[in-house]
Structure formats: structure tokens, C-alpha cells
Amino acid sequence: MATLCCPAVAVPEFTISLEETLALVSSLHPHHPRLPLVQRLIRNTRVSKRHLLQPIGQTLKHPGFEARNLMYAREARARIPDVVSRALANARLAPEQIDAIVYVSCTGFMMPSPTAWMINELGFRSDTRQIPIAQLGCAAGGSAINRAHDFCLAYRDANVLIVACEFCSLCYQPQDTSVGNLLSNGLFGDALAAAVVRGCGGEGMQLLSNASRLVPGTEDWICYAVKATGFHFCLDQRVPGTMAQLAPAIRSVTAEQGWQADTLDFYIIHAGGPRILDDLSRYLGVDAALFVHSRSTLSEYGNIASAVVLDALRRLFEAGGAHQDARGIIAGFGPGITAEITLGSWRNREVSS
């Protein structure tokens, strides 16, 4: 049975604090008619710190879409090898033992996908399957896990590498002063993550089932407007309330496994913002303390898009993991509105076969 092993995560060296973000938005937009609302929304994110590819002075400049995308490609190639190497070590595998690579990102574009570069440069076999996913936004971390699981179900004993690379700061648009865009400027951070799903053996979350749910009529609630200046993030004011619609979907998916959504042992939830976690806790009837790792990701890194669920899972591992056979869920949310849901039980190496 496939097992999701401990992820490796990396964040860039430059940081910006909540107070620095608030001061910045005030200095950049002192006459914005809704400045008090923007400040309140940013403060309510509870994001104490975010990591950025460049110093803030450089981040605020827009050299053009082409230059930004070139930076995306350059930084991805410079930073991916480290997280890949550590993820493989966590799974106790060598590159040549990987059968497929799932690469997810929504903050830059490369064709061929970085999967081709990884195969050429990082020691993977030339017959390694490539599965790039570019348009699921924050939900792509959950989707990557689910597609890796599906691959291992189709090809017994296969091993799949997942790589998430999100440089959200490269999507900063200085001329876009909509409330949703200004909020996103104070919410999103940069990060990379990688993890391996082993078809046989390994320690971590043993994957039992997965599902995808789409909330009808919400495809324009989270989206990109692609313009000459690049990706413009559009966030509808109704997005924070989507847990009222997604909580029943989570209940139905867990029920299909014969479980109850409010009695699981661990929860790895996409931390798009604090209200998502607060509402999901309330709608599912789950103690908010069980979302501790997702909250830590949000507080220390901000919303790092597809890498969120992998970082929250890493924090669970580093906290000692869960007890043998503990039941849990991973849920990623993103454009669509889409939920990617994974159910599994904890497997400790020392008692595994």
C-alpha cells in the first residue's frame, strides 16, 4: 500500500513581518479609499512572517512578465535540487528508483516542464513519467498527492516524487489596488516542497483513498487574469465562506471510507487563511487544536499555495508523527472552487512489514 513519506521544505532567505507589511501598504497607498479595511484584513490573516525570493525593494519592482518568468525558471532550478535530495533521503530512495514525478506550481510557467530538467540533471531515469500540474493553484498540493496515489494504485510498487514550487512574490502587481489583490500581497509567501509516495514500504501516511470535489458555480471566485504584466490574482469576497459548502463534502468522503470526519486523529488542512481553519473546525465539530500544524504554516510562512499541505505534514512528522494506525485527512483547497481530499492511516517504520 502506498505511503506518503516525510516532506522536505525550503523557504528563501528574505523575510517580511506582519508589521512591515502593514507599514508598507500604508506608505504605498496612503490615499486608498479602503485602506483601513485592507489593513484590518491583512492583520486578520495572522501571518507573522513570510519569506520572499528578493529583498522587498526588488520585490516591489516590476521588470516585466518575461523577466519575472526568467527569474522563476532560474530560481526553481537553483532551489529544487535541495528539496528533492532531502525528500528522497527521507523516503530512503535513490533518484533511479523514482518512476514518476508530479510537479505543481501556479506562479511561473516553463515548457518543457521542470520535470524534464530534473530528469536530465538530477539522476532520474529517462523513462520516468512526467505529470506537471499548473492550474489548480493552492489545491495542487492535494492533487499532487492524489495523482501520486493513483499512479501507485495503477503500477504496484512504483515510487512517485512530488515537487511544489511557488514563488508568489513574482506575481506582485504594483498597479493593482483592488482590495483582494492588496490582501493577497499581505498573505502569500514563497516556498518549495518535495515528498515521495512509496508504493511499498516507508514511514508516514499510508494512503487509503482520495477524492476531488468542486463547488458548482464558483470558478470565478479564485482565478488569474493573465495580462501583459503577468498573472493578476483575483479573490472574490465570498471565498472565506466556502467551508460551509466544502465541509459537507469532507464529511461525505470520510463516510465513504467508513469514518467520521469529526473523530480523526490528525488533520492536514490547506491554510489559505485563518477563517478557513476556524470555519472548518466549527462545521466539522473538530477541536481547533487539531489544526495546529496548518496554523503554524500560515503564521510562519503565510499562504504558500500548493506547498502548504506538504509543509503542514512536515510539521506533523517533526512533532513525532502520529501513533500507529492513527486515521487522518489531507485537504487542499483552490480554484474551482476545488477540494482535493486524501484519507490515510499512520504507518511507523519500526512496526511495518
Q: Which residues are catalytic?
A: 138
How far apart CA 100 and CA 112 sit, in angstroms, is 16
With vertex at residue 334, the alpha carbon angle to CA 301 and CA 282, rounded to the nearest 5 degrees, is 80
Separation between Cα atoms, residue 46 and residue 4, nearest integer Å: 29
Among residues 21, 306, 274, 303, the alpha carbon closest in space to that of 162 is found at 306
Q: Look-up: residue for cell 471510507?
A: 257
What 3 state SS string does 95-118 have?
HHHCCEEEEECCCCCCCCCHHHHH
Give the CA-trace dihedral at 117, 121, 123, 129, to 10 degrees: 10
Work out the angle between the directed axes of helices 18-28 and 35-44 (0-180°, nearest 10).
Answer: 170
DSSP E strands, the chain? 3-4, 8-10, 14-17, 49-52, 100-104, 129-133, 159-167, 190-198, 204-218, 222-227, 230-235, 266-269, 327-334, 336-347
Give 178: exposed, middle or buried? Use CB within 10 Å, 0-12, 13-18, 19+: middle
Distances (CA, A) of 147 to 115, 184, 327, 341: 15, 28, 20, 11
Which residues 6+ apart lie within 8 Å of 269 measured at CB? 276, 277, 280, 291, 294, 309, 312, 329, 330, 331
- Helix, strand, coil percent content, the chain, rounded in steps of 5: 45, 25, 30
